[in-house]
Structure 1
Amino acid sequence: MEWKLTTLIENHEDTEEKYVCEHGFSILIEKMDSKPPIRLLMDTGQSGAFFDNAEKMGVSLDKLDALLLSHAHYDHVGGVERLLENIPIEKMYVGKSFFQEKYHEKKDGTVKNIGISFSRNDVERYGVKICEIEEDSREIFPGITIHRNFERITDYEQGNPHFFVKEKGVYKKDDFTDEIAIALEIKDGIVVITGCSHPGIMNIIYTIQKRSKKKICGIVGGTHLVEADESRLKKTIAALKEINIEFIAVSHCTGDENLEIIKNAFGKKFIFNCTGNVIKIL
């Protein structure tokens, strides 16, 4: 199978500073060996600027087969309304509980809404079918599987206690049941695409590995290692080396210092997945 992954927006500028960057993530996934290619947009960044970047890159967002939203945080869903206003979308895939209210407790103890600004009805009025994934995994196209409900396997990925959902007026710790990751089949195994990896990047990898019984060859996207201490980062790097990861193209919520550490740890296997980066995989 042949894939093309184009990062439309991310925290970091491209080397030529041609594109807008922001705290957020959006990636176009294309299965190039399908006729015509299967085209999926995963996440829409924070502001909708991914749309402008796509135009500058010469990347058409017409004829998307589906929109995938990794989870309901503002920096991944902020451009949804701009997309729907401009491009006809037939299906939108989200994880169970996606439409819950999302909050973050700041250092001063105040709680801020960091979730979506649109409702289910707002999406459906554009004629979009919302496909809410309740099962652990679902193959949506040949070679493309959505995973959720990740097992908590490691002892060093405990989750951030300052993220909450609101149910019937009560704040509860967010267990990120809405978070999804995408598994793309390649010749030698699987490439995993993540939005933020709130359940833990290794929990996600181990769960997909266990379900698919295939080698995880590469990862692309956010890891949320920005909140990791030195011990967790070292254990994560050791775990990735143990599974013999072939390439690691992480960014967004990984943290700039951690990106340098990961780059030094993996050498030529590391890809700086900045805004505008294109990865081709066979």
Structure 2
Amino acid sequence: MIAFRIQAIVDNCTRPAKEPLATEAGLSYWIEYGDKNLLFDTGHKEAIQKNLPLLNRKLNQIDGIILSHGHYDHTGGMTWVMEELNKDIPIYAKASVTDPVWSERITGMAYAGTDPEILAPIQKNLHAIESVEEIMPGFFLVPRASQRFPQPESSKFLFEGEEGHLLPDSFRNECFVVVQRPEGIVVLSGCSHQGIANIVDKAQTLFPNQPVVSVIGGFHLQGRKPDFKERPETIDAVARFLQRQVVGTIHTGHCTSVPGFERLQTILGDQVDYFYAGDVLEL
């Protein structure tokens, strides 16, 4: 069996007893899969730069980068990462990961995409994912979720296109990971703007005879505007879906938010936990 571990490098929260890890509104995971090391997203800004050495991780050990989508809180660390790396490595993402995207805030519309200064290095090393692709044995990148279930209500505040000609975000720049394990499949998502139910549903469609043994990532249940969060009954519906479809543990954080996690926990109990910066999963 191929060894599979994930460590949260960047998250909004860390455990109080942990080393003095930096926190920020962002997400980055270090994936060990067999003899390969992958960086899944890079957080928002400085946290990845501070936390990697504290967690005994060396950037030059990574063999590739996966960008789950193009929002700045997942790609912002790329500026430092690309400056520090002394080798070209593949960047797995949708071709549209560098397209402009926007977020409606209290103060108006704000650019929410990747720093323009890092677009060229990303495009130079981009390995575009436009169909389901097995990049390592049993390790798949999936370019699109299903559309059977509602997207998060908070996704309506997100847009794509050029300034002055914005459209509701289609999330065509979003992808997710499915990993086959002996017991079933593991689903790994960044922000789940398409809806974690749709992401899990797509994974089940692709691997119909394999149970979902774990779901990991952010579920986009809260954001920057006061009303940029899900209603309690909507979170409850997500929790019940996961309770029905996932036979193992759910590890969430980042845009799920602590209140969102606590609401999920009222239904899921010990089946769900918060995946804090510094935590490690053996899968």
| Alignment correspondent of 1:82 | 80
**CA displacement at 1:158 relative to structure 2:** 5.6
Q: Contact 2:236–2:267 (CA<8 Å) still a contact in 1?
A: no
Distance 1:158 1:15, change over 3 A: closer
Structure having the larger proportion of residues in helix: 2
Segment drifting more, 138-147 vs 158-167 = 158-167
Instruction: Determine if the alignment matches structure 1 residue 163 to structure 2 residue 158.
Output: yes
Counterpart selection for 1:151 from 123, 131, 146: 146
Query: How much identity, in percent, do the aligned residues show?
Result: 25
**In 2, Cα distance between the equivalents of 1:25 and 1:16?**
20
| Alignment correspondent of 1:98 | 97
**In 1, Cα distance between the equivalents of 2:163 and 2:264?**
42
Q: Contact 2:154–2:221 (CA<8 Å) still a contact in 1?
A: no
| Alignment correspondent of 2:261 | 259
Q: Deviation digits for residues 46-103 of structure 1, max 9, x if unmatched?
A: 0032132110111222231210101111100000010111123410011131121111
Normalising by structure 1, report the TM-score.
0.90
Distance 1:165 1:244, change over 3 A: closer
**In 1, Cα distance between the equivalents of 2:235 and 2:141?**
26
| Alignment correspondent of 2:173 | 178
| Alignment correspondent of 1:188 | 183
Instruction: Determine if the alignment matches structure 1 residue 4 to structure 2 residue 5.
Output: yes
**In 2, Cα distance between the equivalents of 1:83 and 1:153?**
37
Q: Contact 1:48–1:80 (CA<8 Å) still a contact in 2?
A: no
**In 2, Cα distance between the equivalents of 1:95 and 1:38?**
21
Instruction: Determine if the alignment matches structure 1 residue 215 to structure 2 residue 211.
Output: yes
**In 2, Cα distance between the equivalents of 1:4 and 1:122?**
28
Instruction: Determine if the alignment matches structure 1 residue 39 to structure 2 residue 37.
Output: yes
**CA displacement at 1:167 relative to structure 2:** 4.0
Q: Contact 2:95–2:126 (CA<8 Å) still a contact in 1?
A: no
- Code of the residue aligned with 1:221 in structure 2: it is G
Q: Contact 1:156–1:232 (CA<8 Å) still a contact in 2?
A: no
Q: Contact 1:72–1:178 (CA<8 Å) still a contact in 2?
A: yes
| Alignment correspondent of 1:63 | 61
| Alignment correspondent of 2:226 | none
Segment drifting more, 150-159 vs 19-28 = 150-159
Q: Deviation digits for residues 208-250 of structure 1, max 9, x if unmatched?
A: 1101222211111110022211221111111111114310100
**In 2, Cα distance between the equivalents of 1:244 and 1:275?**
23
Gaps of 5+ in 2: 223-228
How much is the aligned-residue C-alpha RMSD, in angstroms?
Answer: 1.8
| Alignment correspondent of 2:106 | 107
Counterpart selection for 1:224 from 211, 220, 235: 220
**CA displacement at 1:120 relative to structure 2:** 3.7
Aligned partner of residue 178 in structure 1, secondary structure: coil
Equivalenced residues, count: 272
**In 1, Cα distance between the equivalents of 2:96 and 2:68?**
12
Aligned partner of residue 177 in structure 1, secondary structure: coil
**CA displacement at 1:172 relative to structure 2:** 1.0
Q: Deviation digits for residues 9-56 of structure 1, max 9, x if unmatched?
A: 10002222520000000001111xx3xx11110000000321321101
**In 2, Cα distance between the equivalents of 1:138 and 1:150?**
14
**In 2, Cα distance between the equivalents of 1:49 and 1:62?**
17
Gaps of 5+ in 1: none
- Code of the residue aligned with 2:3 in structure 1: it is E
